[in-house]
Structure 1
Amino acid sequence: MLVKVYGSAVFGIEATTITVEVNIDKGIGYHLVGLPDKAVSESSYRISAALANNSYKLPGKKIIINMAPADIRKEGAAYDLTLAVGILAASNQIKSEQIDEYIIMGELSLDGSLQPIKGALPIAIKAREEGFKHFILPKENAKEAAIVNDLNILGVDNIMEVINHFDGNKLIVPTTVDTRAEFYKHIDFPEFDFADVKGQESIKRCMEIAAAGGHNIILIGPPGAGKTMLAKRLPSILPPMTLHEALETTKIHSVVGKVKNTGLMYQRPFRSPHHTISDVALVGGGQYPQPGEISLAHNGVLFLDELPEFKRTVLEVMRQPLEDREVTISRARFTVNYPSSFMLVASMNPSPSGYFNNPDSPVTSSPAEMQRYLSKISGPLLDRIDIHIEVTPVPFDKLSDERKGESSVDIRKRVTHAREIQTTRFKDFENIHYNAQMNVKQIREFCKLSEESKNLLKIAMEKLNLSARAYDRILKVSRTIADLASSRNIQSEHITEAIQYRSLDREGWLG
């Protein structure tokens, strides 16, 4: 008897429906075809043990299973449940009248219980698009998949629940989530708050500008100045994610199995990889491509602490994603795109010793040592960072001050207002939502300067020997400062403030 059941494969962050054709005929043997990998090929052992331990069995006949389309590689153990249900249906051990309305996925344990799978959300989205009515999957992934409306999400703990469901003995209760209600209930409760930061008012101002325009920022200062503390609080002042952004972000995390029973992601991601990370782990890839840290930081913040300690090759592969806001991973047979629109926040000590031009510091470095240390970061990468700012240690009188600083909620209101201005400005542009995303054409259109501002910028360009890209960065940051001030035009004071945020370009910065 021939039976067709349906599973799904995930490539990039999109799913493709897989048709599993199970044919049982006279003879003996088990043949699995359709480009399965080792994990899929080993499924017969898990299926056999799981069925035997639940009073069912693999039929002692010739079983041929084809996973179509046959030219797509099938990876992982998530097809165990699909294959097992197909075998049970083809051997008439369960009823299969409406089995073509189901997407079925799950990894089997030997006792018949189910292990969680990766990519449940993209699979659910594809299932709804293709008109499937039900999605059977491990209960641990049910809340994640239930984000998708108009699809019955049937979470199960073991294969017996699936068998009883198809036989009509006990139907599985669908998992339901009110996505919008859950989303809006959680978005206004950041974990970290700027109210906890003592002093550092000028740095907070920088962070506010960076958040308002989506600008990349680098913090330069000695150990203990508060660089990491400030970076961790940046997501708390970014505008709340829209429902579309939350879905897109959750999809990426779903592919690598980092969502499971938490459902929709409500807070912007904050990723802080260690400086020993490889270039593949940072940008994504591998034999079976997976998203890297820059894609996991999509719609959020990527924090690179101690930037010069990262391998130069790792930093250089970030240059293209910073410009294009997506990563393309090419293989001989296919190409995968991962979105990577993130804010880069980097921190660094100004020298190997960590102390900068401070006569009272325990260890000092010569200008030559500092220059050698800074040269680990390439000029083109620094050009892609809009704001450079020096962070100085907080004096004792401010550290001991009991008064709370301005809260993240208050700063976020100003940032959100500035972002709303930018949303209106870029409403006719498909992939541009805030100032940092502007290309040269939009910069010329929306960053027009008065003669006074032009002269001011000309002097700065000549004196600091800035590149054309740095020129564009100053204009973008100026536009954001003007938006925070609700100013229609860029004023000379906005240009002046933006120029101050190019510390690493300033002549004589090294003393």
Structure 2
Amino acid sequence: MAFGQCAVMSATVRGVDVVPVTVEVVVSGGLPGMAIVGMPDAAIQEARERVRAAIRAAGFKMPGEKIVVNLAPSHLRKTGSGFDLPIALGILVATGQIDPAWARDTLYVGELSLDGTVRPVAGTLACGICARSCELDFVCARDSDPVPLEGVRILAIDRLDAAAGEGGAARCLSLHGRGRGASGPSGAPDYREVSGHEGAKRAFQIAAAGGHGLLMMGPPGAGKTMLASRMPSILPPLDPDEALEAAVVHSVAGEPIASVIAGERPFRSPHHSASLAGLVGGGSPIRPGEISLAHHGVLFLDELPEFRSSVLQGIRQPLESGAVTITRADGNVVFPARFMLVGAANPCPCGYFGDDRHECTCTVPQIRAYQNRIGGPLMDRIDIHLDVRRTPPSVVLSPQGGLDSATLREGVLRGRAFAARRAAGTASRRAPFSVEGCALDEGARSFLVSMAELHSMSGRAIVRTLSVARTIADMDEAETVGCEHLAEAVSYRVRDGIGGC
């Protein structure tokens, strides 16, 4: 078989960014075998066996000479099985078995099965963005998730033996123009199904309008999980830029992206046994955590005190910055993490402290220790604190529902639209919050100062309370924040005692 060499473009994922990689293949004289160099991980090293079997299964001949595969740049660690397809194509071009045009102006990612089928890999969307920036065509597996990108030719290949033809990959993935309706996600639970809790629904509406964090505390069975699970039904759809950002994170993590591309905001609800790496991100290779998978969406932490303290404190910095930086010996990886935090907690170990229908069996030290598991610094970063009490049986069995999601959603959209009008002429899509932007008069300022002194509010708590008041004013389409807006915002900051002791 003829000796030769070939270079095929591929890519490796690092965080949510993708680095282009040149797969250089040389077939030369020497002891038969295949060596892969350029800092490959174990999955790439195993590609030798997959590529051999796939080439034979596709009807091609596996060369019996020495094969060297270099992944350049060689100083960067490469991960994943997406190099199978470019390595196989490089070998076939180098040995003259397929048209050299397959190696030109195209970026390939795909895993090979032993029968020659091309399988999808994680990070396909991110690799497509890389191909667009490099001005290359992009080829992936036929079964890959939708790649909704303009400005790049996206092709699909289902089997390696398709390379024997003359026309490139099998078909174009035309996935542009997926609809984004103005209504909530189809099939989402509706707040109409929640009996009572009209005040809690109002708090969720404010949180959704301003992107504020919210913590519910109340006895078991009070409806905390029901309220939180219906939050997506009142959130506006993702705009195209937000959808692409969130979809890239899901693509890198190997999660489905169809619903995100369709405009549905992510809703993540990890179990309280989640590890720090599972919630914040990490592992080897580094994978985004739940807070990044909730980017531009909602992160719901049920049974908040049951999470390990180190795990909870790990989300404090991302709540402030909207991103999480994971540091390793070979550098830093940054994942976006701009999410709404919704938490739910029982007030004590038995769950019935402050409940007027069940006697609490916990001691005061037990109650304080249980609530302190959340931690003061994290509590201070949550804008809205909400007490959720049990709904009376007569209300539960009442055939008349309260506020529904459509009504609440109208208020959310109205508040966001007014905030966007206030932001007219700025670079931000949303009005940037500032104390000056609230236009407090002397009476409102004095009221807030007195409330802050009475309840010993920190500087962060004062600013966050004012931010909630600004959202309430936006929902009322008011240019200035008045005392009535501040009073409601303070009521969400100062709890009435069901959880305090």
Same fold, TM-score > 0.5, yes or no? yes
1:477 aligns to 2:465 (yes or no): no
For the residue of structure 1 that corresponds to 2:403, the secondary structure is coil
Specify which of 91, 108, 114 is matched with residue 112 of structure 2.
108
CA contact (8 A) 1:278 1:314 kept: yes
1:231 aligns to 2:228 (yes or no): yes
CA contact (8 A) 1:294 1:340 kept: yes
Which residue number corresponds to residue 447 of structure 1?
A: 438
Which residue number corresponds to residue 7 of structure 1?
A: 10
Alpha-carbon distance, 1:315 to partner: 0.9
Matches of residues 162-173 of structure 1 in structure 2 within 5 Å?
Answer: 163-165=163-165, 167-168=166-167, 172-173=170-171
Structure 1 Cα separation of the partners of residues 127 and 76 of structure 2: 16
Specify which of 386, 389, 394 is matched with residue 389 of structure 1.
386
Which residue number corresponds to residue 158 of structure 1?
A: 159
Report the CA distance shift for 1:311/1:248 in structure 2 as closer, same or farther (over 3 A): same
Alpha-carbon distance, 1:427 to partner: 4.6
Is the deviation greater in 415-424 or in 85-94? 415-424
Alpha-carbon distance, 1:429 to partner: 5.2
Report the CA distance shift for 1:260/1:268 in structure 2 as closer, same or farther (over 3 A): closer
Alpha-carbon distance, 1:245 to partner: 0.7
Structure 1 Cα separation of the partners of residues 193 and 184 of structure 2: 20
1:86 aligns to 2:83 (yes or no): no
Residue 225 of structure 2 aligns to which amino acid in structure 1? Answer: T
Alpha-carbon distance, 1:432 to partner: 7.2
Matches of residues 1-400 of structure 1 in structure 2 within 5 Å?
Answer: 1-29=4-32, 30-133=34-137, 135-141=138-144, 143-145=145-147, 147-161=148-162, 163-165=163-165, 167-168=166-167, 172-179=170-177, 181-184=178-181, 189=186, 191-259=188-256, 264-400=261-397
What are the ranges of 5 or more consecutive residues in structure 1 without an aligned counterpart?
Answer: none
CA contact (8 A) 2:349 2:366 kept: yes
What are the ranges of 5 or more consecutive residues in structure 2 without an aligned counterpart?
Answer: none
For the residue of structure 1 that corresponds to 2:180, the secondary structure is helix
Is the deviation greater in 84-93 or in 476-485? 476-485
Structure 2 Cα separation of the partners of residues 252 and 507 of structure 1: 40
CA contact (8 A) 1:144 1:262 kept: no
Structure 2 Cα separation of the partners of residues 185 and 89 of structure 1: 50
Task: Give per-residue Cα distances to partners, 1:168-190, cap 9 Å, x unaligned.
Answer: 4x8612121233x4334886535
Residue 5 of structure 2 aligns to which amino acid in structure 1? Answer: L
For the residue of structure 1 that corresponds to 2:172, the secondary structure is coil
For the residue of structure 2 that corresponds to 1:241, the secondary structure is coil
1:488 aligns to 2:479 (yes or no): yes
Task: Give per-residue Cα distances to partners, 1:58-91, cap 9 Å, x unaligned.
Answer: 2111222211111111112111111001000100
Structure 1 Cα separation of the partners of residues 31 and 142 of structure 2: 35
Structure 2 Cα separation of the partners of residues 509 and 261 of structure 1: 40
CA contact (8 A) 1:249 1:265 kept: no
Task: Give per-residue Cα distances to partners, 1:283-318, cap 9 Å, x unaligned.
Answer: 112232111100000000000111111111111111
Moved over 6 A (4+): 260-263, 506-509
The number of residue pairs the alignment matches comes to 497
Structure 2 Cα separation of the partners of residues 50 and 395 of structure 1: 65
Report the CA distance shift for 1:291/1:230 in structure 2 as closer, same or farther (over 3 A): same
Residue 91 of structure 2 aligns to which amino acid in structure 1? Answer: I
Residue 389 of structure 1 aligns to which amino acid in structure 2? Answer: L
CA contact (8 A) 1:144 1:259 kept: no
Structure 2 Cα separation of the partners of residues 307 and 251 of structure 1: 28
Alpha-carbon distance, 1:357 to partner: 2.2
CA contact (8 A) 1:144 1:263 kept: no
Matches of residues 401-420 of structure 1 in structure 2 within 5 Å?
Answer: 401-420=398-417
Structure 2 Cα separation of the partners of residues 186 and 125 of structure 1: 29
Residue 351 of structure 2 aligns to which amino acid in structure 1? Answer: G
For the residue of structure 2 that corresponds to 1:144, the secondary structure is coil
Structure 2 Cα separation of the partners of residues 366 and 456 of structure 1: 36
Structure in which a larger fraction of residues adopt helix: 1
CA contact (8 A) 1:3 1:21 kept: yes
Which residue number corresponds to residue 499 of structure 1?
A: 490
For the residue of structure 1 that corresponds to 2:97, the secondary structure is coil
Residue 16 of structure 2 aligns to which amino acid in structure 1? Answer: I
Structure 2 Cα separation of the partners of residues 187 and 228 of structure 1: 19
Residue 301 of structure 2 aligns to which amino acid in structure 1? Answer: L
Structure 2 Cα separation of the partners of residues 416 and 479 of structure 1: 15
For the residue of structure 1 that corresponds to 2:366, the secondary structure is helix
Task: Give per-residue Cα distances to partners, 1:194-238, cap 9 Å, x unaligned.
Answer: 121111100001001111111101001111111001001112111
Report the CA distance shift for 1:261/1:372 in structure 2 as closer, same or farther (over 3 A): closer
Report the CA distance shift for 1:260/1:193 in structure 2 as closer, same or farther (over 3 A): closer
Alpha-carbon distance, 1:367 to partner: 3.3
Structure 2 Cα separation of the partners of residues 320 and 423 of structure 1: 27
Structure 2 Cα separation of the partners of residues 202 and 69 of structure 1: 58
Report the CA distance shift for 1:461/1:331 in structure 2 as closer, same or farther (over 3 A): same
Structure 2 Cα separation of the partners of residues 482 and 184 of structure 1: 27
Percent sequence identity over matched residues? 39
Alpha-carbon distance, 1:509 to partner: 6.2
CA-based RMSD: 2.1
CA contact (8 A) 1:48 1:57 kept: no
Structure 1 Cα separation of the partners of residues 258 and 202 of structure 2: 37
Report the CA distance shift for 1:93/1:260 in structure 2 as closer, same or farther (over 3 A): farther
Structure 2 Cα separation of the partners of residues 283 and 64 of structure 1: 38
CA contact (8 A) 1:3 1:90 kept: yes
Which residue number corresponds to residue 500 of structure 2?
A: 510
Structure 2 Cα separation of the partners of residues 374 and 428 of structure 1: 44
Is the deviation greater in 454-463 or in 358-367? 358-367
1:461 aligns to 2:452 (yes or no): yes
Residue 381 of structure 2 aligns to which amino acid in structure 1? Answer: R
For the residue of structure 2 that corresponds to 1:327, the secondary structure is strand
CA contact (8 A) 1:194 1:233 kept: yes
